[in-house]
Amino acid sequence: MYIVRLEKKVRKFLDSIRDKDAEEILSKLKILSENPFQNSLDIKKIKSQKELIYRMRVKEFRLLYKISIKSYIF
């Protein structure tokens, strides 16, 4: 399982849109937290010079995210 962190402006945006749309976005984010490469989600890579960024489409909204993988040595 992955952790999804939302920036403050994203949380404000979710509060400002219709509840139905916000619920659908949160539902997709839950699926994303289980598998960030889920085939059922509309995901595409976005070319960036600095880091690998993905775009997920939910209705007319576009959500941008990146995946950080931290390794731990025990």
Ramachandran sector of residue 35 (left: φ over 0; alpha: ψ -120 to 50; beta: rest):
beta
pLDDT above 70 for 50: yes
CA 31 – CA 28 distance, rounded (Å)? 5
Overall domain count for the chain: 1
Give domain status of residue 72, yes or no: no
Alpha helices, DSSP H, located in the chain: 8-16, 19-34
Give domain status of residue 3, yes or no: no
Q: Over pLDDT 70: what percentage of the chain?
A: 91
Regarding predicted confidence, which is higher, 3 or 24? 24
Give domain status of residue 71, yes or no: no
| Contact (CB, 8 A) for 63 and 36 | no
Q: Taking Cα atoms as reference points, which of 58, 54, 55, 56 lies closest to residue 18?
A: 58
Q: What single-letter DSSP state applies at residue 27? A: H
